[in-house]
Amino acid sequence: MKRRVVVTGLGALTPLGNSARESWESAVAGKSGVGPITKFDSTAFNTKIAAEVKKFDPLQFVDKKEVRRYDDFILYALASASMAMDDASLTVSPEISTRTGVIIGSAIGGLATMEQAKEVLLKSGPRRVSPFAVPAILANLASGHISIRFGAKGPINCAVTACASGTSAIGDAYKTIAGDDADVMITGGTEAAVTPLSVAGFNSMRALSQRNAEPEKASRPFDRGRDGFVIGEGCGIIILEELSFALKRGARIYAEVAGYGCTSDAFHVAAPPPGHEGAVRSMFTAIKDAGLSVADIDYINAHGTSTPLNDLYETQAVKSLFGKHAGHLMVSSTKSMTGHMLGAAGGVEAIFAVYALQEGIIPPTINLDNPDPECDLDYVANVARKKEISTALSNTFGFGGVNSVLVFKKYCN
């Protein structure tokens, strides 16, 4: 029998707000976090918009020395983890330190630091490159710094599965506790890749929206007028605990992590296969792991990137797996508001799924003004919906053909 795993703390920095709660309230209100790029001069770029974190003050969480030495993806993770730990009212004492672990996902790691270090190398020579450059670049250093900050000496890892990284991290953390290798896990995803190289690269792939004149309307999953995703940044961290451990310390329980599924398409480095068979298997595996049937699922927080093929094939996958029940599902893409936060997406979307369960509110898919006739599910268009639910799926799919899916359910003793 696997051990039960519950969510006891939430922390986030997103384009919608500088806390999990603020981000959730903005999502329920249908606000967009997309605007003109401010991180660099985008004049020469086809895409000039992004979903950036706004008014973040890292000095609330780290000292000046650390700010200079860390890439933003690490700063976002430290801040979000601090908020999540505070929310969970959890301190890692020496007695529990070896049973407390960290798994944080990041698709790209410190890309901005890498680009800056390369400029220094070319302009000023190798001796001018900072000794802190490599530690600021490595994707696993978000996990490393969180482990150091909180004294977590248990299992540590980093999920690097492209856009599925955050979900993969949470799924691995859930399995770590369920398998009795830890009692507490600090987990989620972080990303700070609104940089010239990433925007130029995604532009060359024709993956990004170029709706520059209307940034707030650029991310429009399942809409006939979608023309690509909007790159975003931020972090979502959740605290997972084994149920009896959480109950013993009197923790508030938000929801239960009930299942996880991960599969590979084995098809293409960037494109999903028609019908998205890999997504079907990952959703099925997660639901089976949760001990549920497809008829038990109430809501899906979709991957829903606002790209033509992804939205279509995810819809096909849902219909293929759920059959007649697909017509009774509520589905929404919060990427319509946050943009696509890459490796952070799964962490933030897990938080939204947890809030949906706890508060009985389904966040909307905004900008769904002219639905694609081939995308014909109930996408909770434009306005949040009050609806009590018992279960929620969170879908994330990534380059390389990875499909990661989590099942959350309302906690019942």
Residues annotated as part of the active site: 163, 303, 340
Half-sphere exposure of 116 (CA within 13 A, CB side): 19
Vertex 261, ends 178 and 315: CA angle to 5°? 150
| Residue 173 in tokens | 């953390």
